[in-house]
Structure 1
Amino acid sequence: MKTLYLLRHAKSDTRHHDGDDFGRALSPRGRRAASSIGRLMATRGWTPQFVHCSTAARARQTWDGVVTGLHAIPMETFGEGNRTPPVVYHDRLYLSTPEVMIEVLRETPPVCENALLIAHNPGMENLVRRLCGPGSDAQEVEKVRRKYPTAALSIITVEGASWRNIGVAPSRLTRFVRPADLDETPPPADILLP
């Protein structure tokens, strides 16, 4: 079984850019959301072993924020492992289709049991909907259908031991977390956030 963490980039600053969509930076709200998602991932043990990220500025900055959040959790809470997994930046993830995202995910090193992909809508939302197979959490699927906001994180499990199976093997959505949910999503009782 493989686990996918699919993250739409955080909120970008649409007011202060020169018309260059690719170079658009995160807004202050987006930086906070990315860091909060990283903290949540660390406290829940949703720690990626490998990262695929769009080369767009807002996607790179989202990953930087997630790393900041991962590092905000004390090491004894985080457990063993690398808090900053290897990351590969892909030009082809910029405004890509679900098919391109699947191609990229299939390049994940075979030894990894999970991977994080940071990309853009509408491709990200369409990929998540495509991977919501039988057994997906109905409430989480309904949240995806309502809206897939910036900095939303989907967790998908995929049957099989090979990344080559992504997109064809049975898969299901197990969690969908929006930045607005973070106040409603308490950490496990035995973990105190700093």
Structure 2
Amino acid sequence: MGVLYLLRHGNAGMAGPGLGDQDRPLNPAGMRAGLGIGRFIAELAMPLDLVLCSTAERTRQTWAQVASCLDHPPEAEFEPALYLCAAAALHQRIRSLPVGADRVMVIGHNPGLHEIALFYCGSGQDVVLHQLHRDFPPAALAIFDFKMPWSDLSGQTGYLQQFVTPKS
């Protein structure tokens, strides 16, 4: 039983000379969006137990912006396998979360993040479900509630509590 926060990184700049895709930093809008999402999470007053983050620069910076808004941010675990991770691999990683980690954030990339959100989405308010089905833009945050242990997660078992974007 837990709460899963799926956060897509903020807007990133284009890869410049000598920069690979993993090295792309957030642009100013991405930095602002990260702070906005961080403030939103802080207002929830539900401390995170664990953060799993892709090793890409833009996801690291997104986490740094979010963490700067939290009173007691957990240490993030930076995992290379989360970079452009497919939904099936994300599902396996989430199912392996430790017992006791009840509120977990995963910071990653599309299309895998959007696909896993759609996979887990079993119920929620119609307007929120519609938003999620339409798009998962940069700095979007989907918050799911599950009534089972992480190891038992399967498709359509999550309740979509909230879906927040920088424009909402």
Q: Deviations over 1:21-59 (max 9, x none)?
A: 111111111111111111110112243110010011111
Partner of 1:44: 44
2:42 is the alignment partner of 1:53: no
Q: Distance in 2 between matches of 1:173 and 1:50?
A: 19
CA distance in 1, matches of 2:44, 2:151: 27
- The amino acid that maps onto 2:26 is L
Give 2:152's aligned amino acid: N
Between Structure 1 and Structure 2, which shows a larger proportion of strand residues?
2
Question: Who wins on radius of gyration, i.e. which is larger?
Answer: 1
* 2:154 is aligned with 1:167: yes
Q: Which amino acid aligns with 1:124?
A: L
Is 1:138 the counterpart of 2:126? The answer is yes
Unmatched segments (≥5 aa) in structure 2:
none
Matched, 1:177 2:157: no
Contact 2:47 2:73 in 1 (8 A): no
- Would you say the 8 A contact 1:54–1:93 is kept in 2? yes
Q: Secondary structure at the match of 1:12?
A: coil
What is the 5 A alignment of 1:102-113? Answer: 102-113=91-102
Tell me whether 1:8 sits opposite 2:8 in the alignment: yes
The percentage of counterpart residues that share the same residue type is: 32
Q: TM-score, normalised by structure 1?
A: 0.81
Whole-angstrom CA distance in 2 between matches of 1:44 and 1:88: 22
Alpha-carbon distance in structure 2 between the residues aligned to 1:2 and 1:12: 30
CA contact (8 A) 1:52 1:104 kept: no
Partner of 1:64: 64
SS in 2 for 1:25: coil
In structure 2, how many angstroms separate the alpha carbons of the residues matched to 1:53 and 1:6?
10
**Equivalents in 1 of 2:85, 2:76: separation in Å?**
18
What TM-score, normalized by structure 2, do the two folds share? 0.92
Question: Does residue 156 of structure 1 match 2:144?
Answer: yes
CA gap 1:19/1:175 in 2 versus in 1, 3 angstroms: same
Asked if the contact 1:10–1:151 (Cα under 8 Å) also holds between the matched residues in 2, the reply is yes
The CA distance in 2 between the partners of 1:34 and 1:46, in whole Å, is: 18
Please identify runs of 4+ aligned residues in structure 1 that moved more than 3 A: 15-19
